[in-house]
């Protein structure tokens, strides 16, 4: 596991970019997440950058300034000039760590020497405010697998349909997942039409065709695969995180009424393939090292099979990441009202870890590739108010949610914007944030 601390984690580090030193910044110098951006409204090529404070540092400019001169890797220059992160991901986490270290040194406050001063002046002139940027997907996503790692979500949803037997027998033994649709994944700001399909109304004898009526969000954490594995090989649990480039936020939108009609016997299809939205910044596994937690399994539950078990997994396999969901209705936007928080939860409550997901995915010889994407599944906590979906919060559509402006919601309505945020924090350490992911539901296309 990538649990080694180094000089980039030093909580005393400060940047010469003032906004990175604010206590409430998601992007202090200890973070340095990667993304793909360009100037908003321009015809510029998308390029790789890192977030620092409220700014973006263009890595093509950093490359020209010899920030990475001490890294001896023939393919690095090509990878940093690429319009997406796949090539950098494929170089492996050791190279990404070297890149992050070089950036940390270049962006630190207090660097001395004429050469360093000149480099700082060049980099300062090359910064772009995040408010002036637009983003693309961080990587070309070849394959997308969504898991079901929250036992609290699985139990709550299971109770809605199987009150006497909410969890299926395999849940506590095997990480459950399905292969999703990568082509409809988009970066934060995604706007999409209410999906259309078949649903089976209550007490009806045949399905009807039309717009979905029970639209929902799913609060998830996404993981980008870095260096992959060969077809026919498997990734050991102790090496799994070396194959994970970093994490982001994911909203896996769901049409619950389409899902209820179609999901047996093969699982989700049209209920989930119309849109998924991710945050633009990928926070590296290395940056999250100080915020690890012990991973535990209830003694009364089945313990993982040997291939999903290790001492390091037990001691530090979980990540203490706070998660929030907010809603801003069309009326709120029109009246200038603040968004309403729907729930909070924590990624460390997951029943299965990132390393277990990677190991299980490859144990049969499946090959993962740089840029492949894994979703954690809905992240719900043990308390009802920590639910990661409206399906849970509304108890299957039976209990409306009252919003701060007097409106109510059972499921998402046209014009609603869902906002998700995530961050890690610990006393004595800076806040390592993910920024946010937003998406807006539009009216259905004409049928």
* Residue 78 annotated to the active site: no
Run of H or E residues at 257: helix 256-262
Residue (of 421, 215, 415) closest to 333 by Cα position: 415
Tokens of 227: 């260096």
Q: How far is CA 203 from CA 161, 199, 200, 207, 337, in A?
A: 16, 12, 8, 10, 40
Question: How far, in Å, are 340, 410, 438 from residue 335 at the CA level?
Answer: 14, 21, 19
Decide the pairing of beta strands 219-225 and 373-375. Answer: antiparallel
Preceding peptide of 351 cis, ω within 30°: no
Q: Check if 7-136 and 144-442 are the same fold.
A: no
Give 380's pLDDT tier (boundaries 50, 70, 90).
very high
How much is the average pLDDT of 347-356?
A: 98
Return mean pLDDT, the chain: 96
Please give the Cα distance from 135 to 28 (Å, whole number): 20
Query: pLDDT tens across 105-141, in order?
Result: 999 998 655 556 678 989 998 899 999 999 999 999 9
Which DSSP category does 259 fall into?
H
Edge-to-edge strand ranges of the sheet holding 55-58? 128-129, 55-58, 47-52, 34-39, 133-136
| pLDDT(2) > 70 | no
Residue 30 has pLDDT above 60, yes or no: yes
The phi, psi pair for 243, rounded to 5°, reads -100, 5
Look at residue 126 in the predicted model and tell me its pLDDT: 86
User: Domain segments of the chain: what residues?
Assistant: 7-136, 144-442
Q: Cα–chain-centroid distance for residue 319?
A: 13
Q: What is the pLDDT of residues 299-335, one digit of tens each?
A: 999 999 999 999 999 999 999 999 999 999 999 999 9
Q: Do residues 193 and 444 touch, judged by C-beta distance below 8 A?
A: yes
CATH code of the domain made up of 7-136: 2.30.30.230
C-alpha gyration radius of the chain: 22
pLDDT of res. 118: 74
Name, in order, each residue with C-beta under 8 angstroms of 161's C-beta and a sequence gap of 6 or more.
Answer: none
Residue 41: other Cβ atoms inside 10 A? 8
21 Cα distance to chain centroid: 24
Bridge partners of residue 219, in order along the sequence: 251
Classify each residue of 51-63 as buried b or exposed e, where b means 16 or more C-beta atoms within 10 Å of its C-beta: bbbbbbbbbbbbb
Which of 358, 252, 286 lies closest to 32 in space, CA to CA?
286
Model confidence at 22: pLDDT above 90:
yes
Residue 350's closest CA among 386, 310, 392, 312? Answer: 386
Q: In this structure, how many other beta carbons lie within 10 angstroms of the beta carbon of residue 21?
A: 16
Tokens representing 15 are 């940047």
Task: Name the pTM for this structure.
Answer: 0.96
- Looking at the domain 144-442, which fold is it? Fumarylacetoacetate hydrolase; domain 2 (3.90.850)
Whole-angstrom distance, CA of residue 328 vs CA of residue 195:
20
Q: Which residue has 């990624």 as its token pair?
A: 347
- 114-125 vs 93-107: helix crossing angle, rounded to 10: 100
Please state which of the ranges 90-99, 256-265, 350-359 shows the lowest mean pLDDT: 256-265
Of the candidates 9, 78, 152, 153, the residue annotated as catalytic is 153
Helix (H), strand (E) at residue 150: none
Looking only at the bridges linking them, the beta strands covering 34-39 and 47-52 are antiparallel
| 96: helix, strand or coil | helix
Please tell me which residue, 164 or 395, carries the higher pLDDT value: 395
Q: What is the rounded average pLDDT of the residues 226-248?
A: 98
pLDDT tens digits, 150-183: 999 999 999 988 888 899 999 999 999 999 999 9
Task: Find where tokens 């709120």 sit.
Answer: 332
Percent of the chain with pLDDT over 70: 98
**Element containing residue 254 per DSSP (H, E):** strand 254-255
pLDDT at 119: 83
């Amino acid at each position: 596991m990538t649990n080694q601390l180094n000089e980039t984690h030093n909580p005393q580090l400060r940047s010469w970019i003032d906004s990175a030193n604010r206590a409430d910044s998601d992007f202090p110098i200890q973070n340095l997440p990667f993304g793909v951006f360009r100037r908003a409204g321009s015809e510029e090529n998308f390029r790789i950058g890192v977030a620092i404070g409220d700014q973006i540092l263009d890595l093509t400019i950093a490359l020209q300034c010899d920030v990475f001169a001490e890294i001896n890797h023939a393919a690095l220059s090509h990878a940093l000039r690429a319009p997406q992160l796949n090539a950098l991901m494929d170089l492996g986490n050791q190279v990404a760590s070297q890149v992050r270290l070089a950036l940390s040194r270049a962006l630190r406050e207090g660097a001395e020497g004429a050469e360093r001063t000149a480099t700082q002046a060049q980099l300062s002139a090359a910064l772009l405010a995040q408010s002036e940027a637009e983003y693309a997907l961080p990587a070309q996503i070849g394959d997308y697998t969504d898991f079901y790692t929250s036992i609290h979500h699985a139990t709550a949803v299971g109770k809605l349909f199987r009150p006497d037997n909410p969890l299926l027998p395999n849940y506590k033994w095997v990480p459950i997942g399905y292969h999703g649709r990568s082509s409809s994944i988009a970066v934060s700001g995604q706007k999409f039409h209410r999906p259309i399909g078949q649903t089976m109304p209550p007490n009806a004898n045949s399905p009807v065709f039309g717009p979905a009526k029970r639209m929902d969000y799913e609060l998830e954490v996404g993981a980008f695969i870095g260096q992959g594995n060969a077809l026919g090989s498997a990734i050991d649990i102790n090496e799994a995180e070396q194959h994970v480039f970093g994490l982001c936020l994911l909203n896996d939108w769901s049409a619950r009424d389409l899902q209820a009609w179609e999901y047996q016997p093969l699982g989700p299809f049209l209920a989930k393939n119309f849109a998924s939205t991710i945050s633009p910044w990928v926070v590296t596994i290395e940056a999250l090292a100080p915020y690890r937690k012990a991973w535990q399994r209830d003694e009364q539950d089945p313990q993982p099979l040997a291939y999903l078990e290790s001492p390091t997994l037990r001691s530090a396999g979980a990540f203490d990441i706070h998660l929030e969901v907010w809603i801003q209705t069309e009326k709120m936007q029109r009246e200038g009202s603040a968004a309403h928080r729907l729930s909070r939860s924590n990624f460390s409550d997951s029943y299965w870890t990132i390393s277990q997901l990677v190991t299980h995915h490859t144990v049969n010889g499946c090959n993962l590739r740089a840029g492949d994407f894994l979703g954690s599944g809905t992240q719900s906590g043990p308390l009802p108010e920590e639910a990661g979906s409206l399906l849970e919060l509304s108890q299957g559509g039976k209990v409306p949610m009252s919003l701060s402006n007097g409106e109510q919601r059972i499921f998402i309505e046209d014009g609603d914007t869902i906002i998700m945020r995530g961050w890690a924090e610990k006393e004595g350490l800076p806040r390592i944030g993910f920024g946010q992911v937003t998406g807006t539901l539009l009216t259905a296309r004409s049928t």
